[in-house]
């Protein structure tokens, strides 16, 4: 709890009361807690037996100014499974930042000062336009186990992310990651907004449920792919979902 409060207090802007988020949480029976001496709050809840947490407070990433919304769940996934989905404008900005650091001969900063999301853009392969389906214009994705990531994106998560286009600007930074068993959705939220929270909570719920559905069966982290049996059993389903 002390570490959580310290993170929420870090670089905290002027205090803003999260009344809208409190009302959203209590109306749904979730546990709500304000952060004392700073603008921020924490909401705890569950999808069945799966616990999750929402944090709203000062941004922890340089690419998100002011306040940010974080939705977090600890999942039973391999620690070596790394995936990231992010909006294309942010992806392009991150790639430029990483490139500029390299050409400026400050490569050591890539490992020490650069956010993990930027490092992943260099370390892992990108999902192609065909595999992204309806997300191709708005989102990009990278991952350590490509077949798992493609199946995850081909699930109902694809539709949930696509639906954000109606209400969320394409240049609003949003990053969805899985790393070391933790799924995190991080996006800008300057002021508490229950309607915007509901949009991202839907994406988060789809991401968690579909990650749990895929689980670890057939994941071969050493080869960066799936076992033959799993690949064959899932091939038809993935093709159908991507055909939309």
Q: Under a CB-based contact definition with an 8 Å cutoff, are residues 188 and 65 in contact?
A: yes
Q: Which residues contact 243 (CB under 8 A, 6 or more apart)?
A: none
pLDDT digits (tens, 9 = 90+) for 78-132: 999 999 999 999 999 999 888 777 666 555 555 556 788 998 998 999 999 999 9
Two structure tokens written together for 159: 């539709």
- Across 225-229, average pLDDT: 37
Q: Under a CB-based contact definition with an 8 Å cutoff, are residues 68 and 189 in contact?
A: yes
pLDDT score at 128: 96
Instruction: Give the residue with greater pLDDT, 237 vs 128.
Output: 128
pLDDT digits (tens, 9 = 90+) for 121-153: 989 999 999 999 999 999 999 999 999 999 999
Residue 99 neighbours by CB distance under 10 Å: 11
Two structure tokens written together for 225: 């792919």
pTM above 0.85, yes or no: no
Q: What are phi and psi of 178, to 5 degrees?
A: -125, 125
- Across 159-171, average pLDDT: 96
pLDDT digits (tens, 9 = 90+) for 25-77: 999 999 999 988 778 999 999 999 999 999 999 999 999 999 999 999 999 99
pLDDT score at 98: 81
- The position carrying tokens 């309607």 is 195
What DSSP string runs through 231-244? HHHHHHHHHHHHT-
């Amino acid at each position: 709890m002390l570490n959580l409060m310290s993170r929420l207090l870090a670089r905290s802007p002027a205090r803003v009361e999260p009344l809208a988020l409190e009302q959203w949480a209590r109306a749904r029976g979730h546990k709500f807690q304000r952060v004392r001496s700073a603008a921020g709050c924490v909401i705890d809840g569950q999808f069945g037996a799966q616990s999750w947490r929402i944090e709203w407070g000062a941004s922890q990433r340089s690419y998100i100014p002011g306040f940010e919304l974080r939705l977090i769940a600890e999942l039973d996934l391999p620690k070596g499974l790394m995936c990231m989905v992010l909006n294309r404008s942010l992806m392009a900005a991150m790639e430029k930042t990483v490139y500029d650091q390299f050409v400026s001969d400050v490569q050591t900063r890539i490992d020490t000062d650069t956010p993990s999301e930027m490092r992943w853009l260099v370390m892992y392969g990108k999902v192609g336009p065909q595999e992204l389906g309806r997300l191709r214009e708005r989102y990009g994705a990278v991952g350590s186990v490509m077949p798992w990531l493609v199946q995850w994106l081909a699930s109902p998560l694809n539709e949930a992310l696509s639906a954000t286009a109606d209400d969320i600007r394409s240049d609003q930074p949003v990053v969805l990651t899985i790393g070391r068993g933790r799924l995190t959705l991080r996006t800008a939220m300057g002021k508490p907004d229950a309607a915007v929270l509901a949009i991202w909570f839907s994406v988060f719920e789809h991401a968690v449920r579909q990650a749990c559905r895929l689980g670890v069966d057939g994941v071969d982290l050493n080869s960066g792919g799936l076992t033959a049996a799993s690949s064959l059993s899932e091939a038809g389903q993935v093709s159908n979902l991507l055909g939309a």
